[in-house]
Amino acid sequence: MSKVERLEIDSQVENLTKIEAWIDSFCESHFPAVEFRHKMHLVIEELFMNAVMHGYGGDRKDGPIWLALHPLPEGAALVIEDDAPPFNVLEDGPAPDTQSGVEDRPIGGLGIMLVRNMADHVSYDYDKRNRITTVFGRGPPPGGGADMDVEGSAAAGLQGSSP
């Protein structure tokens, strides 16, 4: 199986293209990730933009962001870390509104909802850095068993994985 790929990058929106190329390169070397390529692009963008615009406030261009792609037997795990003040965007971000009409619809709050929909597992923790772990790919969860297996193996593979 391919190895863990890491990328350290500054908090600049322009770096999105580098991240996209990095994801594509990983998918080419780790075939089980290919079917999740689009979802991984979307999730990494949403989380990266969140770190740039909210974590680092949108005006800091040199905020470090650490990315890691972990190959899994049936997919991949994507970990993003930043050095911004602790903030659990999964719990404390704005609630998405998917019901209001055009005039009343608030602009924002959709990114994290897309992340939750696109990834099979999403979690946040803080240990000197904000860290969001996402997992792509799992078998059908018969009674939740397969779900537990994939998440468990991903978490095990990610122990001590800070770049």
Partner 1 sequence: MDCRASRDGHAVVVEVEGRIDGATAGDLENSMMAEIEDTDKVVVCDLNGVSYVSSAGLRAILVVAKRLSKQAVDFSICGLNGPVAEVFHISGFDRIFKVYEKREEALAEATANSGQA
Length of the chain: 163
- 4, 17, 107, 149, 162 from 67: Cα distances, Å: 10, 14, 27, 24, 9
Q: Does 61 bind partner 1 (CB under 8 A)?
A: no
Minimum distance between the CB of residue 136 and partner 1, rounded to whole angstroms? 14
75-82 and 64-72 strand pairing: antiparallel
Q: Does 120 bind partner 1 (CB under 8 A)?
A: no
Minimum distance between the CB of residue 48 and partner 1, rounded to whole angstroms? 8
Q: Does 107 bind partner 1 (CB under 8 A)?
A: yes
CA end-to-end distance (rounded Å), the chain: 20
Q: Does 41 bind partner 1 (CB under 8 A)?
A: yes
Q: Does 45 bind partner 1 (CB under 8 A)?
A: yes
- Closer residue to partner 1 in complex, CB, 69/118: 118
Angle at 90 between CA 85 and CA 91, to 5 degrees: 90
95, 99, 140, 159: which one contacts partner 1 (CB under 8 A)? 99
Main-chain dihedrals φ then ψ at residue 8, nearest 5 degrees: -110, 130
- Which residues would be at the binding site for partner 1 (CB under 8 A)? 13-14, 16-17, 38, 41-42, 45-46, 48-49, 96, 98-103, 105, 107-108, 110-111, 113-114, 117
